[in-house]
């Protein structure tokens, strides 16, 4: 009797451990995913501001982390990832220092650098990213 009670306890203990481990896994997202989601929202807001001829949202230093942030799988940061990341960062700076007259063009070029990396490493959000472009 005592023996079966303690094995029940043991059984429930392991079930809870698995449950907790699993629920943690399903809510955790990679550092890179988190950064990307922030970027996607920020870029939607940049697009709105440009179209409304309003002041741009703040420049984000944290985008430099695109280089070091951990992805959900190593394969998502393949051979040319670093090149694409540097192109993106270079164009991000260029866009923020551009004259108003060419802001739209520089923004669309910036979105193209998102697209280039995504075509190689993460095609899922491409449709959404392409919609960020501003029609002339």
**Residues contributing to the site for ligand HEC (CB under 6 A):** 29-30, 32-33, 36-37, 39-40, 43, 66, 71-72, 76, 81, 84-85, 88, 113-114, 117-118, 121-122, 125, 129
Encoded tokens for 63? 């985008």
Looking at the Cβ atoms of 15 and 70, the one nearer to ligand HEC is 70
- In the complex, least distance from residue 86 CB atom to ligand HEC, rounded to whole angstroms: 8
- In the complex, least distance from residue 25 CB atom to ligand HEC, rounded to whole angstroms: 14
Rounded Cα distance, 116 and 111, in Å: 9
- Give Cα 111 to chain centroid, integer Å: 13
Rounded Cα distance, 122 and 13, in Å: 39
DSSP 1: -
- In the complex, least distance from residue 55 CB atom to ligand HEC, rounded to whole angstroms: 19
- In the complex, least distance from residue 72 CB atom to ligand HEC, rounded to whole angstroms: 4
Looking at the Cβ atoms of 16 and 93, the one nearer to ligand HEC is 93
Tell me how crowded residue 99 is: count the other CB atoms within 10 A of its CB.
Answer: 7
Rounded Cα distance, 133 and 111, in Å: 6
Looking at the Cβ atoms of 3 and 61, the one nearer to ligand HEC is 61
């Amino acid at each position: 009797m005592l023996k079966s009670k303690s094995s029940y306890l043991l059984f429930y203990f392991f079930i809870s451990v698995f449950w907790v481990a699993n629920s943690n896994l399903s809510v955790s997202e990679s550092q890179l995913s988190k950064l990307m989601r922030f970027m996607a929202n920020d870029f939607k807001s940049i697009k709105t501001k440009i179209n409304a001829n309003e002041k741009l949202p703040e420049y984000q230093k944290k985008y430099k982390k695109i280089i070091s942030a951990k992805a959900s799988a190593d394969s998502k940061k393949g051979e040319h990832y670093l090149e694409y990341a540097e192109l993106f960062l270079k164009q991000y700076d260029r866009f923020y220092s551009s004259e108003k007259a060419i802001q739209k063009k520089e923004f669309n070029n910036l979105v193209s650098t998102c697209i280039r990396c995504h075509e190689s490493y993460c095609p899922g959000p491409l449709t959404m990213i392409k919609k960020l472009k501003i029609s002339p």
